[in-house]
């Protein structure tokens, strides 16, 4: 974990990033894009990893609500379990919650036994707050030869992304919009973060929220619905 990256206050995420031994930031270019089975034409999917964050996820939900948009959240399971009210709100407002992880591990660096244990722990934590995920965004989008098997065992569909905001770097909303606008098209899956994950170079998610508001405007102009990939 990049030690310069502050943990989220009250997140209860003590395990986050423990295995990021090379200090690489979360979810870089290694993600495997996957539009996902059943992804409907006419939709743009915003996805947010590493939350929930009591402050920033709540603000993000306000923005999504104002835009009548639905999004998908892939929270750190311990953070989700520590914020039951926020999880309730995410679900009540029509968003989807998928599995991310308990410990933020790279599958390619771990055994299937380790992956099974982490998945079981994460699913138990999510179940404790009423979440039974169908989608799985693996940490950093990294997969191993066993990832698909563990996904099948748990009836999960692994979902990647087609557009990476790199919001963990601390770019402004304007920078992110300019960098991604051409790819915000029908069927795109956008990776962003509502929590401060391992390796992040920013202290908050303010720019991600501003970016989301601008993407919502863009979607309206382009005739696209902001929805979920499932
Ligand atoms: Zn992550």
State in Å: Cα 38 to ligand 1 middle. 24
Q: Is residue 169 part of a domain?
A: yes
Question: What is the average per-residue pLDDT within 48-74?
Answer: 97
Long-range contact set of residues 90-95: C-beta below 8 Å, sequence gap at least 24: 90/52, 90/57, 90/61, 91/130, 91/131, 93/61, 93/64, 93/65, 94/70, 95/61, 95/64, 95/70, 95/71, 95/228
State which residues form the domain around 87.
Answer: 43-227
Question: What is the average per-residue pLDDT within 13-20?
Answer: 32
Catalytic, 193? Answer yes
Task: Of 29, 24, 26, give the one whose Cα is nearest residue 48.
Answer: 26
Q: Is residue 7 part of a domain?
A: no
Task: Of 141, 112, 118, give the one whose Cα is nearest residue 33.
Answer: 141
pLDDT at 40: 62
Band of residue 230 on the pLDDT scale cut at 50, 70, 90: confident
Q: Is residue 30 part of a domain?
A: no
Q: Is residue 162 part of a domain?
A: yes
Question: What is the average per-residue pLDDT within 165-174?
Answer: 96
Query: Is the distance from CB of 197 to CB of 17 less than 8 angstroms?
Result: yes
pLDDT at 12: 30
Tokens of residue 111, six digits: 């055994």
Residue 167 DSSP SS3: helix
State in Å: Cα 27 to ligand 1 middle. 6
pLDDT at 39: 58
State in Å: Cα 199 to ligand 1 middle. 10
Q: Which residues pair with 2 in a beta bridge?
A: none
State in Å: Cα 22 to ligand 1 middle. 15
Q: Which of 49, 50, 102, 194 is catalytic?
A: 49
pLDDT (tens digit, 9 = 90+) per residue, 179-215?
999 999 999 999 999 999 888 999 999 999 999 999 9
Q: Is residue 111 part of a domain?
A: yes
Task: Of 120, 133, 160, give the one whose Cα is nearest residue 27.
Answer: 160
Q: Is the pLDDT of residue 79 over 80?
A: yes
State in Å: Cα 101 to ligand 1 middle. 8
Question: What is the average per-residue pLDDT within 154-163?
Answer: 97
How many domains does the structure of the chain reveal? 1
Q: Using alpha carbons, list the distances in angstroms from residue 178 to 165, 172, 173, 218.
A: 10, 10, 9, 12
Long-range contact set of residues 146-150: C-beta below 8 Å, sequence gap at least 24: 146/107, 146/111, 146/112, 146/115, 147/107, 147/115, 149/112, 150/112, 150/115, 150/116, 150/119
pLDDT at 30: 36
Which CATH number fits the domain that encloses residue 58? 3.20.20.370
Q: Is the pLDDT of residue 4 over 80?
A: no
Q: Is residue 25 part of a domain?
A: no
Q: What percent of the chain has pLDDT over 90?
A: 79
Q: Is the pLDDT of residue 56 over 60?
A: yes
Q: Which residues pair with 192 in a beta bridge?
A: 48
Task: State how far the Cα of 152 lies from the Cα of 126, in Å rounded to an integer.
Answer: 18
Q: Is residue 158 part of a domain?
A: yes
State in Å: Cα 221 to ligand 1 middle. 30
pLDDT at 198: 85
Contacts of 97 (CB under 8 A, 6+ apart): 72, 73, 74, 75, 80, 87, 90, 91, 126, 131, 133
Q: Which of 100, 104, 166, 193 is catalytic?
A: 193
Task: Of 49, 143, 32, give the one whose Cα is nearest residue 99.
Answer: 49
Q: Is residue 173 part of a domain?
A: yes
């Amino acid at each position: 974990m990049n030690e310069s990256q502050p943990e989220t206050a009250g997140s209860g995420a003590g395990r986050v990033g423990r295995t990021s031994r090379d200090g690489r930031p979360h979810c870089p270019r290694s993600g495997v894009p996957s539009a996902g089975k059943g992804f409907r034409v006419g939709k743009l999917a915003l996805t947010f990893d590493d939350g929930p964050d009591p402050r920033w996820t709540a603000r993000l939900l306000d923005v999504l609500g104002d835009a009548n948009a639905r999004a998908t959240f892939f929270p750190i399971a311990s953070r989700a379990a520590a914020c039951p009210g926020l999880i309730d709100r995410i679900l009540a407002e029509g968003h989807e919650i998928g599995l991310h992880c308990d410990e933020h591990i790279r599958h390619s660096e771990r055994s299937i036994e380790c992956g099974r244990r982490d998945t079981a722990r994460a699913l138990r934590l999510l179940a404790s707050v009423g979440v039974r995920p169908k989608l799985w965004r693996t940490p950093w989008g990294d997969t191993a030869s066993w990832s698909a098997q563990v996904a099948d065992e748990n009836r999960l569909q692994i979902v990647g992304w087609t557009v990476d905001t790199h919001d963990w770097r601390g770019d402004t909303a304007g920078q992110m919009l300019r960098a991604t606008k051409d790819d915000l098209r029908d069927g795109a899956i956008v990776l962003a973060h509502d929590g401060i994950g391992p390796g992040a170079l920013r202290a908050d998610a303010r720019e991600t929220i501003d970016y989301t508001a601008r993407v919502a405007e863009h979607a309206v102009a382009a005739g696209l619905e902001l929805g979920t990939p499932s």
